[in-house]
């Protein structure tokens, strides 16, 4: 059995069509696999803890892979970082147990969605903060967020990815709003997330914050199990995969 490796990857998703390999688009997974091929000569599949969409970033994505060639982990990490572009960095690489699975063994994930709530976005932040110029009432957003915490069917807060799911029930253990000056961060932690679920939660909370929707509607939207225009998908640039816990 070939050794299995666990990696933690940080990336700026601006230039990529997401994490997962796609036939005609450049992705983060594809770039790492290409670098591994250059180092080892092997065709290696890298398995991530989950997908991120086009333009979404990661502070700490976790993945695993196997390879035949014996390369010291320090040299392998240095080699990978030398071959991938500067907007991808392997921040940790280590051998792991043979059955480690980055997706199946994850106990929770944390995403953070960043909003810049002011007239103008500072240019260095424009690809990492979603601009909302109209004033947002954080107290209203927090009241709505509290109603969404817990084990619920989040069918109303996911987009149709064209694939069937066993269940749309997820346990959202944390959904809090942090405001620092013009920056508002939505911190979401759960045992797993549905397709575009965090961006849907963020889009809904923004509409609550600007007064378009009442905070109390969170419960009725959950109960409906149907996606409606009340739940908008927020833009991708404000979203970061922050942490994966095992």
Q: Convert the pLDDT of each residue in 202-221 to its tens digit.
A: 999 999 999 999 999 999 99
Please tell me the pTM assigned to this model: 0.95
Percent of the chain with pLDDT over 70: 98
pLDDT bracket for residue 1 (50, 70, 90) = confident
Average pLDDT (136-148) is 98
Whether 26 and 209 have beta carbons less than 8 Å apart is answered as no
Q: Which domains, ranges and CATH numbers included, belong to the chain?
A: 4-96 (3.30.70.580), 108-245 (3.30.70.660)
Average pLDDT (159-173) is 82
Q: What pLDDT sits at residue 18?
A: 97
Is it the case that residue 159 has pLDDT exceeding 90?
no
- Considering the candidates 53, 86, 87, 101, report the single residue annotated as catalytic: 53
Q: What pLDDT sits at residue 166?
A: 83
What is the average pLDDT value for the chain, to the nearest integer?
A: 96
Q: What pLDDT sits at residue 20?
A: 96
Whether 222 and 204 have beta carbons less than 8 Å apart is answered as no
Is it the case that residue 160 has pLDDT exceeding 90?
no
> Six-digit token pair at 186?
């939505």
Is it the case that residue 161 has pLDDT exceeding 80?
no
pLDDT bracket for residue 134 (50, 70, 90) = very high
Q: What pLDDT sits at residue 238?
A: 98
Active site residue 85: no
Whether 140 and 209 have beta carbons less than 8 Å apart is answered as yes
> Six-digit token pair at 56?
């979404």
Cα distances from 92 to residues 73, 74, 79, 114, in angstroms, run 9, 9, 13, 25
Residue in the block written with tokens 């007064």: 211
In sequence order, which residues have a C-beta less than 8 Å from that of residue 161 and are 6 or more positions away?
195, 196
Report the chain's C-alpha Rg in angstroms. Answer: 19
pLDDT bracket for residue 148 (50, 70, 90) = very high
């Amino acid at each position: 059995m070939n050794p299995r490796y666990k990696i933690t990857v940080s990336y700026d998703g601006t230039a990529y069509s997401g994490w997962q390999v796609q036939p005609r688009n450049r992705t983060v997974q594809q770039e790492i696999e290409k670098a591994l091929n250059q180092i080892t000569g092997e065709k290696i599949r890298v398995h991530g803890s989950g997908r991120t969409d086009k333009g979404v970033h990661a502070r700490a994505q976790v993945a695993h892979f196997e390879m035949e060639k014996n390369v010291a982990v320090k040299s392998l990490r240095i080699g990978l970082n030398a071959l991938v572009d500067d907007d991808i960095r392997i921040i940790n690489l280590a051998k792991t147990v043979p059955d480690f699975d980055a997706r199946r063994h994850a106990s929770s994930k944390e995403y953070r969605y960043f909003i810049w709530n002011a007239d103008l976005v500072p240019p260095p932040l424009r690809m990492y903060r979603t601009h909302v110029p109209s004033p947002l009432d954080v107290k209203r957003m927090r009241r709505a967020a509290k109603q969404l915490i817990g084990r619920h069917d989040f069918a109303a807060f996911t987009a149709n990815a064209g694939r069937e799911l066993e269940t749309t029930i997820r346990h959202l253990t944390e959904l809090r709003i942090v405001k620092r000056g013009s920056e508002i961060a939505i911190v979401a932690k759960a045992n797993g997330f549905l397709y575009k679920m965090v961006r849907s939660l963020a889009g809904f909370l923004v509409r609550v914050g600007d007064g378009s929707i009442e905070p109390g509607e969170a419960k009725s939207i959950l109960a409906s199990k149907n996606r409606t225009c009340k739940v908008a998908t927020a833009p991708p640039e404000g979203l970061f995969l922050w942490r994966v816990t095992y």
